[in-house]
Structure 1
Amino acid sequence: MAARNAKAKDKPYKLAAGAGLYLHVMPNGARYWRMKYRWDGKEKLLAIGVYPEVSLKEAGEARDQARAKLRAGHDPSEHKQLSKLTSKLSVDTRFQAIAVEWLESRGDLAQSTREKAAWMLETYAFPWLGKRQIHEISTAEVLAVLRRLEAQEKIESTQRLRQICGQVFRYAVATGRLDRDPTSALRGALKTAKNRHYASITDPAKVGELMRAIDGYTGQLVTQCALRFAPLVFTRPGELRKAEWEEFDLAAKQWNIPATKMKMGVAHVVPLSKQAVAVLEELRPVTGNGRYVFPSVRSSRDPMSENTVNAALRRLGYGTDDMTGHGFRSMASTLLHEMGWTSDAIERQLAHSERNPIKAAYNRAEHLPERRKMMQAWADYLDKLKVKGQPHLKLVG
């Protein structure tokens, strides 16, 4: 009756109901059941419900259940949060269902990373583990799946699949559907890949030859523009080929790559030199009405194939051991260091991760002016290398 007759006042007030339970009456007339208790030496509150939807009897029963959890050594608030979480989880505990759930929960992953993980799971894991209950999968079963891929000499893919499966299993552990990650015992059981180094040209004279060769490319205009644009921005190949017109602010001379496209999941700004802007202006009448700057030859709705730039380099006479699309990054890094630019500016421009969070914030905030100067100086340097070795031209500056 006291709860039913409780009137709102200027300030919130409480009506005690015994053993820590009380009704919290708010100035707007709302009435909430709360339970006060101590956990680990600190006072905490447990929200039980809204009166009159939750009656005094129901609130008292909830209080008694919470006190029972306290006696058993459990924090009732944490238990409530876990219950909310598990209520949202799939009741299907097969490996495939939990793997899909894990992928959906990883909003921090770049789209390309998410797609690659989904493809690897569907191709190499689901046919053998997909329908298995996740708590029944043994370390030996996972190893057998990985051995199939390892037998094809796909060593890097094998290690990557082990990492992805491990993340799925650890997600199941974190959500209370598994006790341990069976992949944790696989360390040392698989072949390790040698460090991969992308072929790159770093000798200035040979870089000049490469720039002249690119200018002389006689293939499709979109491919030629991609070849000319790549050394000017030295982004990752996937970022280049998936570039969209809406990401470019040509007036501000910058390319704003969203976090979903970046390997590290952090948005990236690429300052554009006047030479880079000129390439885009040349290409805009051809592809500017579509989504992608460098669309696929087969369909303008899709981005350029991941092998297009490398294939163009092969057509120019550069083999896989000479130069790759990814090699423009190490080419720029090496020569920019030799030119005297700071490592912080170069690493930030390469969008490499910074493990120190304070320094990372500084890099994002403070190096853009320096990077703008650096990117223009880099483009001018490439132009100078391009004309060297042509005696009929006079090198200026």
Structure 2
Amino acid sequence: MDPYPQVLTTLQIKSAKPAERAFKLADAGGLFVLVQPNGSKLWRYKFRLDGVEGLQALGAFPEVTLADARHAHAESRKLIAKGIHPVQARREERESRAQEELHRVKGSFGAVCADWKTATGADLRPATVLQRNREIEKDLSPHFKDRPISKITRLELTTALKEVEARAPEVARNLRNYLWGIFEHAIDSGLIADNPVPPVRVLRKRNQENHPALSLELLGKFLRKLDAIDTIYEQTRIAMLLVVLTACRKAEVTGAKWSEIDLKAAEWEVPAERMKAGRAHWVPLSRQAVKLLQKLRALVPEENVYLFPNRLDPDRPMANRSLNALMERLGFSGDGTPHGMRATFSTHFNAIGASIDVIEHCLAHVPGNRVRAAYNRHGYRAERREMLQAWATCVDQLRSGLPSKVPAPSSKSKANC
């Protein structure tokens, strides 16, 4: 039998008119309707727990009926009998339901990963975004995409990273960095409390080696072999020669667009978003480089954006490993890489005493001495043009098989082979 006789009726509540001040319509056991001056009628439950008075909101009439309010009141009384605060219990219940809904909609690894990509992709170079997406799709998504992120353990992540490390150590290090960011994003989103990504020590230390670079003698042999084999795709041959002639990074050449090239002015402006240091890079084009680009323009359809469109998908640039594969095919895989051509260029001009500033500007390197760089605003454009033209002449000598000579430079920016 209910110890609290119920005295209110629905008719009484409906009939209650607002007054200048709020007033109560009591039911029983601390349950009452608070009639506000604006006419709203709010269910309230006044209780005591451990000698402390409390007040619980149970909704508004008529959305919450008299029967609904009495049921909620009865449930709260049961909680109080157990020493549980009904307001706190109701708040925790709402939070639990919200958390369940969050996990249902946003809680999978794939969903968190997509949100993280969106949040972090704007500040990255397009090439970096493509590489990141490719590595995640290949090595993380198959394992974790549909898994609740809260259920993924450190052991599972370590095992996945170790499997990749056995095949591609650098990719494994990249994946660990991605995972750290993804799980930190999940923490910020309220999905998990701790980051289970293993520490860096679970992976072997990076064996930091410089890209192998061809000596001038080997560069000459490589160029002569490149010229001699007529089965090489001509656009690939031109791309490799431009890597050599411009001292630019492989990705800067293979991802170049025609809109960046001014053949009349013999110059190329690589935009900041495609540069490693995030700064635009001006490249003076030697006569030999201009001649190659004129030949390339005749080979590539006018509608193509890229200098070296991908043969399978012209809307994308040449595949990343095409030039590496070419060097391997010609038998120089252990001796040098496309990126190593920059070291060959730098070694040659440093050996003959050319200006270090001009060399570093040609390589688009960030100055090591920031104070000096802050005061020295000279762009060395004329000197860079001289140097790259001298380099192109040297490359011609190497291609023809003429003996390589390294005389003392007549100036700090100009030198021959």
TM over 0.5: yes
- 1:104 maps onto 2:98 in alignment: no
Alignment equivalent of 1:229, drawn from 235, 242, 255: 242
Paired AA for residue 247 in structure 2:
F
Give the superposed CA RMSD: 3.2
Gaps of 5+ in 2: 1-103, 405-415
Whole-Å Cα distance in 2 between the matches of residues 175 and 344 of structure 1?
47
SS at match of 1:256: strand
- Structure possessing the higher radius of gyration over alpha carbons: 2
Residue 149 of structure 1 contacts residue 157 of structure 1 at CA under 8 Å; is this kept in 2? yes
Alignment equivalent of 2:199, drawn from 186, 195, 203: 186
Residue 222 of structure 2 contacts residue 332 of structure 2 at CA under 8 Å; is this kept in 1? no
Residue by residue, what CA displacement relative to the aligned partner does 1:87-108 show, whole Å, maximum 9, x if unpaired?
A: xxx9614332222222223212
Whole-Å Cα distance in 1 between the matches of residues 382 and 397 of structure 2?
23
Paired AA for residue 243 in structure 1:
A
Residue by residue, what CA displacement relative to the aligned partner does 1:41-90 show, whole Å, maximum 9, x if unpaired?
A: xxxxxxxxxxxxxxxxxxxxxxxxxxxxxxxxxxxxxxxxxxxxxxxxx9
Whole-Å Cα distance in 2 between the matches of residues 135 and 360 of structure 1?
48
Residue 217 of structure 2 corresponds to: 205
Residue 293 of structure 1 corresponds to: 307
Whole-Å Cα distance in 2 between the matches of residues 314 and 293 of structure 1?
23
SS at match of 1:208: helix
Residue 238 of structure 1 contacts residue 306 of structure 1 at CA under 8 Å; is this kept in 2? yes
SS at match of 1:320: coil
Whole-Å Cα distance in 2 between the matches of residues 384 and 217 of structure 1?
19
Paired AA for residue 347 in structure 1:
E
Paired AA for residue 199 in structure 2:
L
Residue 376 of structure 1 corresponds to: 389
Q: Which moved more, 1:367-376 or 1:244-253?
A: 367-376
TM-score normalised per structure 1 = 0.65
Give % identity: 31
Whole-Å Cα distance in 1 between the matches of residues 186 and 381 of structure 2?
41
Residue 124 of structure 1 corresponds to: 139
Paired AA for residue 335 in structure 1:
H
Whole-Å Cα distance in 1 between the matches of residues 358 and 189 of structure 2?
41
For residues 59-78 of structure 1, what are the structure 2 equivalents within 5 Å? none
Residue 217 of structure 1 contacts residue 224 of structure 1 at CA under 8 Å; is this kept in 2? no
Residue by residue, what CA displacement relative to the aligned partner does 1:89-128 show, whole Å, maximum 9, x if unpaired?
A: x961433222222222321211111111112212222233
> Cα 1:348–1:102, aligned 2, differ >3 Å: closer, same or farther?
farther
> Cα 1:227–1:144, aligned 2, differ >3 Å: closer, same or farther?
closer
Paired AA for residue 116 in structure 1:
Q
* Number of residue pairs aligned between Structure 1 and Structure 2: 300
TM-score normalised per structure 2 = 0.62
For residues 311-326 of structure 1, what are the structure 2 equivalents within 5 Å? 311-315=325-329, 317-326=330-339
Deviation at 1:201, TM superposition (A): 0.8
Residue 165 of structure 1 corresponds to: 179
Residue 162 of structure 2 corresponds to: 147
Residue by residue, what CA displacement relative to the aligned partner does 1:127-161 show, whole Å, maximum 9, x if unpaired?
A: 333334445544333212212323x4322211111
- Which gives a bigger RCO, structure 1 or 2 (Cα 8 Å, sep 6+)? 1
Deviation at 1:279, TM superposition (A): 0.8
Whole-Å Cα distance in 1 between the matches of residues 239 and 187 of structure 2?
45
Alignment equivalent of 1:332, drawn from 317, 327, 345: 345
Deviation at 1:244, TM superposition (A): 1.4
Whole-Å Cα distance in 2 between the matches of residues 266 and 95 of structure 1?
35
Paired AA for residue 225 in structure 2:
A
Paired AA for residue 323 in structure 2:
V
SS at match of 1:188: helix
Whole-Å Cα distance in 1 between the matches of residues 343 and 400 of structure 2?
22
Whole-Å Cα distance in 2 between the matches of residues 147 and 168 of structure 1?
19
Q: Which moved more, 1:335-344 or 1:170-179?
A: 170-179
